[in-house]
Amino acid sequence: MTTPMPRYRITIEYDGTPFVGWQVQDNGPSVQGRLAEAIHAFCADELIPSGAGRTDAGVHAMGQVAHFDLTKEWPVDTVRDALNAHLRPDPIAVLDCAQVGDDFDARFSATARHYLYRVAERRAPLALDRNRAWQVPRPLDADAMHAAAQALTGNHDFTTFRSVQCQAKSPIKTLDRLDVSRVGAEIHIAAAARSFLHSQVRSLAGSLKCVGEGKWSAKDLKGALEAADRSACGPVAPPHGLYLVKVDY
C-alpha cells in the first residue's frame, strides 16, 4: 500500500501587472508558472499547482488559493518561507500554508469567490495606484450604481457579461452579491458567487460605470442582462482594477 503524498494549501497575494495571468501560457510569465518554479527550486518536485481562480493578465489577488502534492512531508512554515524566498523578486507572496487532506481541491472545493473592483475618481494620474485601479476623471453616482446592480443578483443567464472566449459550459450563474459603495475618492464594486464566467466581473463593472455616468438607467442595465447578447454589454473595465479578495471553503 502506497502512502499518499502530503497535500498543501497556500493562500497567495500578487500584483498581476507583470504576468500573463494565473494560468501557465506560452506567451509570458504566469503566477502559476512562477509558483511551479519556486516549488521545484525548493524541493525538486516537478508539478503545476492548482488554483481556485484563473485570473486574467493584469488582475491582482489578495487571497488566491492553490494546492499541490509534495513527495516529502515538510513543516508548513518551511514550505511558506521557502516558496517566498524563491519567488523573489517577483510580486508574489505566499501568505500562509496548511497541510490538508487529499480530498481538498482549491478549485472544486470552493463554495464562494469574492472579487473587488476599484474605480479611482480623479483627474490627476495615479502615481501610487498605477495599474491597481481604474482611473475615471469625473465623479460617478455610486448610489445609482448600487441600486441598478441589485437587478443582476440571483440566478440569471449572464451571456451579456461573458467573454466570447469563455469556456464555461453554461452562461447561467448565481450572483450572490453585487454591491457598489463609495470609499473616499474611490468606488468599490464587490461581487461574490460560487463561480464566475470569464471576464464577468469586469463586464459588470464597465456596465455599472455607464450607470454611474448617467449614460444608462437601471432599466438599461436590466435590459442588457435580459438581452443575453454580448453586444449589449457596456465597455469592459480594464483588468488592473480587479482583485480576487478571498475564496470560501
Residues with catalytic roles? 56
**Whole-number Å distance between alpha carbons of 105 and 108:** 5
**Whole-number Å distance between alpha carbons of 159 and 230:** 6
Helix (H) or strand (E) holding 40: helix 31-43
Residues for the chain: how many in total? 249
Q: What share of the chain is helix, strand, coil (3-state, %, to 5)?
A: 25, 30, 40
Q: Are 173 and 195 in contact (CB under 8 A)?
A: yes
3-class SS string, 205-235: HHHHHHHHCCCCCHHHHHHHHHHCCHHHCCC
Contacts of 209 (CB under 8 A, 6+ apart): 119, 136, 140, 145, 234, 235, 237
**Whole-number Å distance between alpha carbons of 111 and 114:** 10
Burial class (CB in 10 A: 0-12, 13-18, 19+), 99: middle
Question: What are the grid coordinates assigned to 54, written together?
Answer: 484563473
Q: Which of 127, 110, 73 is nearest to 195 (CA)?
A: 110
